Chain A
């Protein structure tokens, strides 16, 4: 319409759009100021750390900065034969500077990550370099240890030249770049991360499934029972929420251990022999049991909120039209709960995939997840960049699941309450 009549004007002759914007500007500013603290909070606590994580996971500047002259002189070197004299000289100068600043230890650690064997020859070089004469560094360095005459080691140094690296991500997938620059898997017996990823997915999947199977009837009961009973049941569902996660996990440890309550009960009713008590903790079983219990409310609540909105007259209509109770449930009730199922499953799965405390406490060796590995690298090996890389891989995985879900079900079909 506006294309025919041109711009619509208000009675004062100002274009309507301008006038509307002016009238709403104040409200918009007010609204923005109201959400500004949250935006700032998100920026500081969420976006900035993730950005920092991303930087850290690909950052490889340390070696680049420690050997500036070496890498500059290596630019012309093609890496096929031994590098020329100027590379050795540059390396000697860089190394001497590091020794003076007492930073050579860090260099040896870093280079040792790239190729084993650097630590000892750098130590030796440090000792011998004091007596080096000026000129012809190539021969002098090569004389320190036979590995210094091995071109592989020089190639290893050159590989550390770029300021950014994907090595941490490859390591997270049990892969690395070999000397030829190809991406290959590590040997069979050294693959630990792939197993962990698969186990994480597996446990998250089954925990989601178990939660769904248990939560559906509970939520249905909650939505259909009279108020006084449903309130009580709701409290039972929410009670775990109000208890500390640690306490809940610890109580599972008391219940599940070999001399624990559950095993005692099994022995009492004669299900298992006293001397043959099954291990239910420090393995996958413990992780399954404890995580399912802890994540159950996250499935119950979205399901409940959706079921609450389904009018009981729909089921009655289905029955009065001749549908058996099962057909009516399957054709009428179940499809209407799909938004709740989607929300609950997505929530539980995403929480399960990054779960940490419970698997750490009751998981043992076979029940730990990728997040425990991340924590291990954060706290024990202090390889923060690797931890960051794995964290981001986890995040990417979650986003991928979210994307797949959106394609399959549609995110607007989600209903959390």
Chain B
């Protein structure tokens, strides 16, 4: 069975609340059936607005949203059949866990026996069997979260939306819930649209990530591609750690270019969004791609002075003054050969030009 690649489709969607500022600008986004897609972005980037438009709580100012090829802008939220997990869970505080889960089934006039079965199944899915008669107030945050997930799934919706569902949990719980939600998604194959501002959450859970900024999707790709091959400096900056050099393209070739930095030195970089000599650019380099005192042959080799050393156990973060950038970060794996890293030492730093991506200037 081939899956519908355009199960959810945002078609040229604009959204403005006040008629002056566009919160979402010309959004085009296709979500495949069964996909786990994450909308990632800083607050105010328009990701939650997109989710609310999909859920039906906001209407697009322009454009149309399609669900399984049907336009849904004129369908009220309760007829869309989209499950939703809210940021603060939104469990009904006056109902027991059972009643919370039975609510979407009761309004669909499903008979009592089927309701019992479905509620049982949903609760065992989130490993909360036996909690039917508890009130939401008697549950811990993590348990409430699971109930909210179970409630959004219990009526077998086509799409489940999750609006920063783990935002209120502590770090450990958040991580275990991430895996749990991922496993639930894998086992039932429902389409999930997930909104978060936490990049590690997005990277671990999603099939694809849409990075939002300023009302636009900056990049839509799989987590590894997003990290390894950011297409612009916002994405490079937003996802993971990043060292940057600002400069001007001097020797542009198809797969390599030279970038002249403000202190006069030149580095070799991979041209991504530059097209000719004289373009301003920001070169982005992941910390773990730059090595110190390496014996491998690399086409960028420079000397830097260690400014700060922070011990992290499995690795050591080293801040280096390199080519006029005092914030150049290196991650040095913890091994016996790297013991000579000390403040004030001069060390050799090298990287491959392929990993230094010349992106748009900031």
Contacts and interface: CB of A to CB of B under 8 A. Distances in A.
A166 to B, nearest CB: 46
Nearest to B81: A322
A257 interface: no
Given A314-B90, A317-B86, A321-B83, A331 B103 contact: yes
Contacts of A380: none
Interface in B70-98: 76-84, 86-88, 90-94
B77 A319 contact: yes
B314 to A, nearest CB: 40
Given A321-B104, A323-B107, A316 B86 contact: yes
Contact of B77 (A314, A320, A327): A320
B36 interface: no
A30 B189 CA distance: 64
A335 B94 contact: yes
Given A322-B107, A331-B103, A316 B77 contact: yes
B245 interface: no
B108 A317 contact: no
Contacts of A335: 94
B82 A320 contact: yes
B211 interface: no
A385 interface: no
A325 interface: yes
Contacts of A327: 107
The residue among A316, A322, A324, A331 with the most chain B CB atoms within 10 A of its own CB is A322
B351 interface: no
Contacts of B108: 322
B226 interface: no
A314 B92 contact: yes
A170 interface: no
Contact of B93 (A324, A331, A336): A336
A335 to B, nearest CB: 5
Contact of B151 (A311, A321, A323): A321
Nearest to A335: B94
B55 interface: yes
A322 B94 CA distance: 18
Contacts of B90: 311, 313-314, 316-317
A318 B151 CA distance: 11
A332 interface: yes
Interface size class of B (residues with CB under 8 A): 20 to 34
A372 interface: no
B346 to A, nearest CB: 56
Given A321-B151, A323-B107, A311 B88 contact: yes
A328 interface: yes
Interface string A298-337: 0000000000000101101111111111011001100110
A328 B78 contact: yes
A320 B94 contact: no
Interface residues of A, number: 19
A331 B81 CA distance: 19
B57 interface: yes
B155 A316 contact: no
A316 B91 CA distance: 11
A320 B83 contact: yes
Interface string B148-159: 000110010000
A340 to B, nearest CB: 13
Contacts of B87: 313
B262 to A, nearest CB: 48
The residue among A311, A320, A322, A332 with the most chain B CB atoms within 10 A of its own CB is A320
Given A313-B86, A316-B77, A319-B77, A332 B92 contact: yes
A99 to B, nearest CB: 74
A321 to B, nearest CB: 4
Contacts of A324: 78, 107
A321 B56 CA distance: 12
Contacts of B78: 319-325, 328
Contacts of A313: 86-88, 90
Contacts of B152: 320-321
A321 B107 contact: yes
Interface in B106-154: 107-108, 151-152
Nearest to B80: A320
B84 A317 contact: yes
A413 B208 CA distance: 48
The residue among A314, A317, A324 with the most chain B CB atoms within 10 A of its own CB is A317
A318 B90 CA distance: 9
A318 B103 contact: yes
Contacts of A311: 88, 90
A313 B94 CA distance: 15
A314 B95 CA distance: 12
A313 B90 CA distance: 6
A322 B88 contact: no
Nearest to B55: A320
Contacts of B80: 320
A321 B86 contact: no
A321 B55 contact: no
21 contacts: A311-B88, A311-B90, A313-B87, A313-B90, A316-B77, A317-B91, A317-B92, A319-B57, A319-B77, A320-B83, A320-B84, A320-B152, A320-B161, A321-B152, A322-B78, A322-B155, A325-B76, A331-B92, A335-B94, A336-B93, A336-B94
Closest CB pairs A-B (n = 7): A321-B104, A317-B90, A320-B84, A313-B90, A319-B77, A319-B78, A323-B107
Given A316-B57, A320-B56, 16 more contacts: A313-B86, A314-B90, A314-B92, A316-B86, A317-B86, A317-B90, A319-B76, A319-B78, A320-B152, A321-B104, A321-B155, A322-B104, A327-B107, A332-B92, A336-B93, A336-B94
